[in-house]
Amino acid sequence: MEKEWKDKLLNRFLHYAKTYTESKPDVEEIPSTPQQWDLANYLKKELEEIGLEDVSIDDHAYVMGYLPSNQEGTLPTIGFISHFDTSPDFTGKDVKPQIHENYDGGDIVLNAEKDIVLSVKDSPELASFKGETVITTDGTTLLGADDKAGIAEIVTAVEYLKAHPEIPRARIAVGFTPDEEVGKGAHLFDVEKFGAEWAYTMDGSSVGELEYENFNAAGAKITFKGKMVHPGYAKGKMVNAMHIAREFAEALPKDEVPEKTDGRQGFFHQHDISGGVDEVVMQMIIRDHDDEKFEKRKNFLLELAQSMNKTFGEERVIVEINDQYFNMYKQIKDKMHIVDLAKQAMESLDIKPDIKPIRGGTDGAQLSYKGLPCPNIFAGGQNFHSRYEYVTLESMAKATQVIVKIAELATNKK
Ligand SMILES: [Zn+2]
């Protein structure tokens, strides 16, 4: 990518990163915080200035715009989507990006005064960016490359395509969302209005990442009912809910927990427990890529409760399960040309596609179930949601090129 375009990409990213857009959990409204409007409004203006068509911002700060195709005939509309909010896990206020040109491959001092260092020991992949332009924080905030890198890449790619009419391209739809980090980025996304046949979220990490499988996810609330009696006179009368809860927990498969699983292995994860003799409430999440195993896990909890209730002769264990999201693979598997197109774009740019199942969810999963198949592509950022977050300009440039290439290769698809 030419220097002129890399500069545009960098300046764009720096501006977005410095704009405060932290989202907030447990807020009913979307966007969850007023500051997200600042970047949303700015992006709308920017898309208009670049010359995109039908640029809009709705009542919930979702921004959309279109770059028409420059080809004859009917071609699919391809969407690219990123989120402009940053994670509430770490402060995103007053971000002061630091630029380390021609990075020497060693540790990077983020903040000498506070002795905050981005070290190769803790972030081994850092050394692989030797010679590149590394953008870090000053150690006091996150960077917001998740997912402002994605936005900078998409905006720069459509500007580049507009400036290069000699590159054939399909129609491109651009969508920017609020509140992804609080699980609501896809909630009010108007798939019909967006009008794309399929889309990609630019929200992955390392160069080459391409993801189209994610967890099936459910939450379980398990209530254990006890019976409090004066301990001195409790024989044959008291039922201690804590003992029942412990028995239940011990019946769960010991190795199927987050800390002992990876790849496509699913798990049960107890993340909260509270209560006393009278009542204990245990909160759990259930995760599995495989549909059948996912159902089995849910049934396991229900059957365990049933069998324990038989033993106790009463409704002592109550299991409530709520599905949270589903593996997008089910929505993609009959449309693998969507994945192949991204793969082909990467390969033609000498980028090795790195395909792996996501051990979490994505906005793309929700969008896929709303009728917009939506795999996830790398945006380049590392160490998300922390003061050690960083991204290199070269990684962002590669993601930008992938977008341009997908637009071009899509003209071969009918
Ligand atoms: Zn993200």
Of all residues in the chain, the percent with pLDDT exceeding 90 is: 95
d(CA 291, CA 223): 26
72 is annotated as an active-site residue: no
Q: 202: CA distance to ligand 1 center in Å?
A: 8
The whole-number pLDDT of residue 313 equals 86
Q: 180: CA distance to ligand 1 center in Å?
A: 7
Catalytic residue among 22, 46, 146, 180: 180
d(CA 409, CA 388): 36
Confidence of residue 413 (pLDDT cuts 50, 70, 90): low
d(CA 251, CA 301): 10
Confidence of residue 361 (pLDDT cuts 50, 70, 90): confident
d(CA 178, CA 33): 9
Average pLDDT, the chain: 96
Residue closest to 165 by CA, chosen among 286, 93, 254, 69: 69
Q: 142: CA distance to ligand 1 center in Å?
A: 13
Q: What residues are neighbours of ligand 1 (ion), with CB under 5 Å?
A: 146-147, 203
Residue 37 parent element (H or E):
helix 36-50
Catalytic residue among 46, 85, 153, 203: 85
CB-count burial class (<10 Å; 0-12, 13-18, 19+) for 15: middle
For residue range 228-267, what is the model confidence (pLDDT) as tens digits? Answer: 999 999 999 999 999 999 999 999 999 999 999 999 999 9
Q: 168: CA distance to ligand 1 center in Å?
A: 30
d(CA 270, CA 272): 6
The whole-number pLDDT of residue 233 equals 96
354 is annotated as an active-site residue: no
Q: 203: CA distance to ligand 1 center in Å?
A: 5
